[in-house]
Structure 1
Amino acid sequence: MGFWDRHVVPRLIGCACSQKPIMKRRAKVVPLAEGKVLELGAGGGINFQLYDPARVSTVQGVDPSPGLLKRAREAAHAEGIEFDIAEGVAENLPFDDDSFDTVLATFTLCSVQDQMQSLAEARRVLRPGGKMLFLEHGAAPDAKAAKWQRRIEPVWKPIAGGCHLTRPITSAIAQAGFRIVAQDQGYMPKTPRAFGWTEWGEATK
């Protein structure tokens, strides 16, 4: 991992993923978490302020970036909430089957190395009847935006820590064996369409 990935990417992600329009959408999703929670891509700790302490018992998080993990631990300390944040990848979670009541993924599935393996692991560690909450950006539905996404993605990925612009979101979660129970979607305001398509909602195991 070079200088760019260790020092620049965490700052870039922290800034880009905490813009006001994004935080508004996070606020629709994160407070729905309950019980024992696993947050995929918890680096940066951006969601920590949005958890409802009356509904959540514990929060464990994994992230592969040392820079983002440092920020997450600082954010957890600032919030005064006990979080267990560890280095790890979504494709190989160090947890037993049926361990969590909620799995949360926000702007994470775009950058995992293997999206479907990550979703399979999320489903494995989620208890039967548990919920997966998601807020992700990905493949735009209209042809013009999708064309630009395909053009930009090869240049964008190394700049943005492996972030993909063209991955499906809700359909991939359903394909992984989850049942979608609530969903919404739309372009982020004041954002180029190639970067701005988001989908969010809830699925169950």
Structure 2
Amino acid sequence: MASWYERNILPKFLACACSGPQMMRQRSRLIPRAEGRVLELGVGMGLNLAFYDPARVTSVSGVDPAAELRALAEAAPRAEGLEVEILPGVAEDLPFETDSFDSVVCTFTLCSVHSPERALAEARRVLKPGGRIFYCEHGLAPDADVARWQGRIEPVWKRLAGGCRLTRPILPLLEGAGFSTEGAESAYLPKVPRFAGWNVLGEASMVNPASA
């Protein structure tokens, strides 16, 4: 059962942290690329829904374990005619058949799932051959001084931010799950504290999809 903090404070904290101008700019750059039947891991408050192109997307299924966030996603703005379903669930155990989706979208989610390896294995399982994962995540910074501060801050940050980790190496995780990350963009987001501002963005296809 969710705690009082998780029900009443955490959604406000996440709204402030995840809907800042730089985060929304990154969403606006990435989400319109998705196509076909789309699965969104950790749909949260539905901040991506306004950016899907209904001319490219047939439907969006979003999963999230938090009832409070799912309620916000249900009410979030989206393009007219966009078919959206919001479902309870966790990224590590998706309630969908294998080879179900053309696109998987993962934005600021891998930081907070219990097992990013399992979540990405599930994303690979539900993607059709030739499907792609569209990702925008913050994670472990390449600069040693920043990474040290991330490690120091993470225990407190994790409690405040619903389990969000600062030190997950996003591109190695994707590559380890069998995705090609060629062409990924990596940079510190402007006007975001550096401990939380290292961002990677891109779209990744499966390596050897026939063996997924």
The TM-score, its normalising length taken from structure 1, stands at 0.96
Q: Is the 8 A contact 2:52 2:78 kept in 1?
A: no
Q: Alpha carbons of 1:79 and 1:4: their partners in 2 closer, same or farther (altered >3 Å)? A: farther
Corresponding residue of 2:158: 157
Q: Which runs of 4+ in 1 moved over 4 A?
A: 76-80
Alignment of structure 1 residues 1-205 onto 2, 5 Å: 1-75=2-76, 81-205=82-206
Q: Distance in 1 between matches of 2:77 and 2:87?
A: 12
Q: Distance in 2 between matches of 1:165 and 1:19?
A: 17
Q: Distance in 1 between matches of 2:78 and 2:113?
A: 26
* Residue-by-residue CA offset, 1:31-56 (whole Å, 9 max, x unaligned): 00000000001120100110011100
Name the Cα RMSD after superposition: 1.3
Q: Is the 8 A contact 1:139 1:197 kept in 2?
A: yes
Using the TM superposition, give the Cα deviation of residue 182 of structure 1 relative to its aligned residue in structure 2, in angstroms: 2.7
Specify every segment of 5 or more residues in structure 2 that has no aligned partner in the other structure, as ranges. 207-212
Specify every segment of 5 or more residues in structure 1 that has no aligned partner in the other structure, as ranges. none
Match of 1:28, SS? helix
Using the TM superposition, give the Cα deviation of residue 181 of structure 1 relative to its aligned residue in structure 2, in angstroms: 3.8
Using the TM superposition, give the Cα deviation of residue 82 of structure 1 relative to its aligned residue in structure 2, in angstroms: 2.7
Q: Is the 8 A contact 1:5 1:161 kept in 2?
A: yes
Q: Distance in 2 between matches of 1:127 and 1:59?
A: 15
Match of 1:202, SS? strand
Match of 1:42, SS? coil
* Residue-by-residue CA offset, 1:156-203 (whole Å, 9 max, x unaligned): 101100000000111210110112243101111112111110001010
| Code of the aligned partner of 2:99 | D
Q: Distance in 1 between matches of 2:33 and 2:7?
A: 32
Q: Distance in 2 between matches of 1:123 and 1:198?
A: 22
Match of 1:60, SS? strand
The TM-score, its normalising length taken from structure 2, stands at 0.93
| Code of the aligned partner of 1:47 | N
Q: Distance in 1 between matches of 2:142 and 2:78?
A: 40
Q: Alpha carbons of 1:139 and 1:54: their partners in 2 closer, same or farther (altered >3 Å)? A: same
60-69 or 6-15, which deviates more: 6-15
Sequence identity percentage: 53
Match of 1:136, SS? strand
